[in-house]
Amino acid sequence: MQRRNRLSRSRDFDAVYRHGRSTSTRFLVLYWFEREGDPGEPRLGLAVPRSTGNAVARNRIKRQLRETWGERLERVPAGRDYVLIVKPGMPEAVAANGFEWLGERVDEVLGKAAA
């Protein structure tokens, strides 16, 4: 996933949280916000709380989510900012079920957001 497709500033995260909509599944929460006057590419921010695991587990799940998101970037609506929040138990579930399972969970939460 390229730099232009990432949220990095705190104010961008705050805008998505405050003005955006959300949906959730067992392991993920997705917030999205329609950017005004900027029909550019979609941007993603990841939030992986400490309750998810140690630093190694958090960084691993972030890498996996960035790769999964990058594979789906063409199908994601443009002009939106997204924040994907990982719930506790996700790293263990990915380790047990595999990387394809993670892709299915991301598709599930994106499908709920599109509906």
pLDDT at 66 over 90: yes
Q: Which domains does the chain have, with CATH numbers?
A: 3-114 (3.30.230.10)
Name residue 34's beta-bridge partners: 80
* Residue 82, beta-bridge partner list: 32, 44
Task: Provide the percentage of residues in the chain whose pLDDT is more than 90.
Answer: 75
Local structure of 83: helix, strand or coil: strand
Determine the Cα–Cα distance for residues 28 and 25; give it in Å rounded to an integer: 5
Query: pLDDT tens digits, residue range 14-40?
Result: 999 999 999 999 999 999 998 887 778
pLDDT score recorded for residue 21: 95
- Residue that wins the pLDDT comparison between 3 and 46: 46
Task: Look at residue 8 in the predicted model and tell me its pLDDT.
Answer: 85
Nearest to 64 by CA among 30, 25, 90, 31: 90
